[in-house]
């Protein structure tokens, strides 16, 4: 089964097996190799119940099309990126549905250099080939196992000075996802970090909560546990562990914007004048922190495909998105969930308390977070918003509609998959944020 709607803007995701099954996975693996003609690729998988057979089908399809397939096993998504980057492979496929509920399966596909294959970079061509299933004759390639663990552990630990880390108590919620497999070999090298391990058993039924820390109900556990354990900070991973979300020592959730700003300061301390990419939704905290640290802030469209491409074009040292995707030049210019965890250990070792590091941001920047509203006519509503607010500030159409005034700014973007508008707004005061938020929402919801 291969439902065309399983092909999204950045990846492949669908219900298993009604929208995507092993037959569809075979077709995608074969179509990918026919489309891009890679000589060698890596295939990895997460811990979902369907993933072993889905990954096997991808491997068979890719090998039947003539590729040499390196089976890296059950790994985090970022480990496929490392395999592609450090082994100089021509591409890779990670079988995962990331943070989606247990009923889903999916794939993240990359080319050489771990560049993502998305809707505007070949994924629709892969879709069309897979649906047609008119295969070229090819000499079958090979499939062999490849152990990427030592390379991965060494690479992520290279981002921090392990000797400078102080004894810390950290709560980690792996959400029964792949973080429970990926982190232990790293933690073995960090005896000074006292980790309270929660839900580390990989279980594709997700018996405790869905592996999506963006949803407030899935953050309740890590917030409560961090305060109960009197931990220095808490960290919650999503299903394929390429994103992590932080809770400070007081139990407050840390917005991705503030995390990006903190990491930018840390990284620019090592590499002054570096370029840092951030997305259009971000708080002023991000570009202002980058400039204060001597770096060059570069705003960009939302989405890992666009961020990774810009990282390469600019040779940027770091990139961060509000959605907690963090990208590193020295990590094959790809995103990682493990590196941010390690950087946070270094930051808290330096500051003593994460809440202390965050205090200047919380005193100066007041954010709405993302507010989603269904609308009947997205283009008409965006035009109405620009007509109403455009005269009050500078307007940008880099991604949706952005308006920036002296004491507030907002971005409104349409959803890629449904008739929604997503609002992110910030002001210099709490009262100003609430007033402008209500004003903008009044137009969106009218």
Catalytic sites, residue numbers = 98
Residue 125's alpha-carbon distances to 19, 65, 240, 319, 349, in angstroms, are 19, 16, 25, 28, 48
d(CA 3, CA 324) in angstroms, rounded, equals: 29
d(CA 363, CA 359) in angstroms, rounded, equals: 6
**Cβ atoms 260, 280 nearer than 8 A:** no
What ranges in 87-235 are assigned the alpha helix state H? 123-132, 149-157, 179-182, 184-187, 216-228
Q: What SS3 state is found at 374? A: strand
- From the list 258, 189, 177, 244, the residue with the least C-alpha distance to 213 is 244
d(CA 257, CA 242) in angstroms, rounded, equals: 17
CA 132, distance to chain mean position in Å, is: 31
If you count them, how many residues does the chain have? 446
Helix axes 123-132, 22-36, angle to 10 degrees: 120
The two counts, helices (H) then strands (E), for the chain are 15, 21
Q: Distance from first CA to last CA of the chain, Å, rounded? A: 42
Phi first, then psi, for residue 98 (nearest 5°) are 55, -120
What ranges in 137-211 are assigned the alpha helix state H? 149-157, 179-182, 184-187
Residues 6+ apart with CB under 8 A from 93: 28, 29, 32, 41, 42, 43, 44, 58, 62, 80, 107, 108, 109, 110
Computed on alpha carbons and rounded to an integer, the radius of gyration of the chain in Å comes to 22
Helix axes 378-389, 430-444, angle to 10 degrees: 130
Compute the C-alpha angle 372/373/376, nearest 5°. 140
d(CA 63, CA 60) in angstroms, rounded, equals: 5
Residue 214's alpha-carbon distances to 23, 219, 420, in angstroms, are 32, 8, 17
């Amino acid at each position: 089964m291969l439902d065309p709607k399983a092909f999204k803007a950045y990846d492949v995701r669908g219900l298993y097996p009604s929208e995507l099954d092993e037959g569809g996975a075979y077709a995608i693996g074969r179509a990918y190799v026919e489309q891009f003609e890679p000589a060698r690729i890596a295939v990895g998988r997460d811990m979902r119940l369907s993933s072993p057979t889905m990954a096997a089908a991808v491997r068979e399809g890719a090998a039947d099309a003539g590729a040499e397939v390196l089976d890296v096993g059950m790994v985090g998504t970022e480990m496929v990126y490392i395999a592609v980057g450090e082994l100089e492979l021509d591409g890779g496929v990670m079988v995962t549905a990331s943070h989606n509920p247990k009923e889903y399966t999916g794939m993240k596909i990359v080319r050489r250099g771990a560049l993502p294959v998305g809707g505007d970079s070949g994924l629709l061509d892969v879709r069309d080939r897979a649906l047609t299933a008119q295969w070229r004759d090819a000499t079958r390639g090979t499939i062999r196992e490849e152990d990427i663990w030592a390379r991965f552990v060494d690479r992520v630990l290279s981002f921090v000075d392990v000797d400078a880390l102080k004894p810390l108590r950290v709560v980690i919620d792996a959400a029964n996802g792949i973080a429970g497999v990926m982190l232990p070999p790293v933690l073995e090298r960090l005896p000074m970090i006292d980790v309270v391990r929660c839900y580390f058993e990989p279980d594709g039924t997700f018996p405790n909560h869905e592996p999506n820390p963006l949803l407030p109900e899935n953050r309740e556990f890590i917030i409560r546990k961090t305060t109960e354990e009197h931990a220095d900070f808490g960290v919650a991973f999503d299903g394929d562990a390429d994103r992590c979300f932080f809770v400070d020592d007081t139990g407050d959730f840390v917005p991705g914007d503030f995390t990006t700003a903190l990491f930018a300061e840390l990284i620019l301390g090592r590499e002054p004048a570096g370029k840092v990419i951030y997305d259009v939704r971000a708080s002023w905290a991000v570009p202002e922190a980058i400039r204060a640290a001597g770096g060059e802030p570069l705003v960009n469209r939302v989405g890992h495909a666009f961020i990774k491409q810009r990282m390469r074009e600019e040779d940027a040292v770091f990139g961060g998105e509000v959605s907690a995707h963090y990208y590193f030049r020295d990590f094959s210019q790809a995103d990682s969930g493990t590196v941010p965890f390690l950087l946070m250990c270094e930051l808290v070792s330096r500051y003593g308390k994460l809440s202390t590091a965050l205090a200047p941001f919380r005193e100066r920047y007041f954010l709405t977070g993302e507010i989603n509203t269904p609308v009947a006519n997205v283009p008409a509503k965006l035009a109405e918003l620009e007509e109403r607010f455009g005269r009050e500030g500078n307007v940008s159409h880099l991604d949706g509609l952005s308006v920036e005034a002296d004491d507030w700014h907002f971005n409104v973007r349409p959803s890629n998959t449904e008739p929604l508008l997503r609002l992110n707004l910030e002001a210099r005061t709490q009262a100003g944020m609430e007033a402008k938020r209500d004003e903008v929402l009044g137009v969106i919801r009218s």
